[in-house]
């Protein structure tokens, strides 16, 4: 089973009215699934950072480390696809702000 189907099978589609705590746990589970699938034992530190995050903002800022882990083992294309799915789980709870009006240029 691929990581994409694993994430959605375990977590299901999220409700638009998720509280921050529900979103935190949903994102945490997805990120841990990625670490488990692509990281192995040598990425225990990232696993711990994800497990001990108390706020969704902490998980938001762990995305680059997760991207690096996946890119190192699976390549940039797979990492970008994986991170797009992880980022979508944050919905309104992330710190990225509103999309730029220049984003599609």
Residue 46 lies in a domain: yes
Alpha helices (H) in the chain, listed in sequence order: 3-11, 20-38, 44-52, 56-60, 63-74, 76-90
| Percent of the chain whose predicted confidence (pLDDT) is above 90 | 56
Residue 103 lies in a domain: no
Residue 13 lies in a domain: no
Residue 83 lies in a domain: yes
What is the reported pLDDT for 17? 52
| Percent of the chain whose predicted confidence (pLDDT) is above 70 | 70
Residue 87 lies in a domain: yes
What residues make up the domain containing 51?
A: 3-7+19-91
Sort residue 99 into left (φ over 0), alpha (ψ -120 to 50) or beta: beta
Q: How many structural domains comprise the chain?
A: 1
Residues 6+ apart with CB under 8 A from 103: none
Distances 55 to 7, 45, 71, 75, 97 between C-alpha atoms, Å: 20, 18, 25, 29, 17
E strand or H helix at 13: none
**Average model confidence (pLDDT) for the chain?**
82
Residue 104 lies in a domain: no
Q: Name the more confident of 14 and 8.
A: 8
Residue 31 lies in a domain: yes
At 53 the three-state DSSP class reads: coil
Residue 26 lies in a domain: yes
User: In the block, which residue shows the tokens 């990281």?
Assistant: 39
Position 91 confidence tier, pLDDT thresholds 50, 70, 90: confident
């Amino acid at each position: 089973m691929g990581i994409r189907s694993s994430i959605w099978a375990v977590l299901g589609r999220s409700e638009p009215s998720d509280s921050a705590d529900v979103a935190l746990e949903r994102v945490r589970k997805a990120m841990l699934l990625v670490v488990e699938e692509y990281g192995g034992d040598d990425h225990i530190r990232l696993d711990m950072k994800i497990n001990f995050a108390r706020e969704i903002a902490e998980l938001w800022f762990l995305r680059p480390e997760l991207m690096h882990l996946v890119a190192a083992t699976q390549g940039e294309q797979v990492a970008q696809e994986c991170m797009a799915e992880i980022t979508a789980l944050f919905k309104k709870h992330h710190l990225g702000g509103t999309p730029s009006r220049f984003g599609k240029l």
